[in-house]
Amino acid sequence: MRLKIAGLAMLCALAGCSGPASHDLPGTATIARDTVLVLPMPPAFPAQRQFDHIVSARFGRHEMLFESLADMGPDKVMVTITAPNGPRLATIDWTKDGIKGDRAATIPGRLRDENLLADMMLVFWPAKAIEAAMRPAGSVASRRRSGRPEATPRSAAYAQAGPSVAA
């Protein structure tokens, strides 16, 4: 039952994938008007799990049905997205070294790998990990030498109030 609920939540999350904001850096995804999710490197999923979902997603004026196969663990997340009749549409690898993806030309360019991974993180990761990854928009302003985003600490007011969801 929990897996069915998680699958339904993933359907809802992927249907709401937001496009990149002008301030999105590699390894980050805007998840609401004033909130950015900084994807942890490595992914730090708490257990080794595999998930298989049929997803109906809408992105802008694009709608698609696809199957998502995810192999998730503490050090690596591998996602393969296929069309219902089998052709591979995309693969995404998320490790301590970053996020690397390969996609078919039919996937909208504005739909970033980070947005898909952020949706998965919002569905499957523990609440504390999600909270630790959230930052106010605009706070992820620079990059370290490693190429990973560097975020300023959240303010106490933001931590208490939390993000507001875009209307």
How many residues are given for the chain?
A: 167
Name which residue leads in pLDDT, 11 or 132.
132
pLDDT tens per residue across span 98-141: 999 999 988 877 788 999 899 999 999 999 999 999 998 877 65
Region 72-87: mean pLDDT is 93
132-to-20, 39, 100, 114, 128 alpha-carbon distances in Å = 21, 10, 23, 17, 6
Query: Residue 125, SS3?
Result: coil
Region 44-59: mean pLDDT is 90
Segments making up each domain of the chain, as ranges: 2-161
Query: What's residue 99's pLDDT?
Result: 96
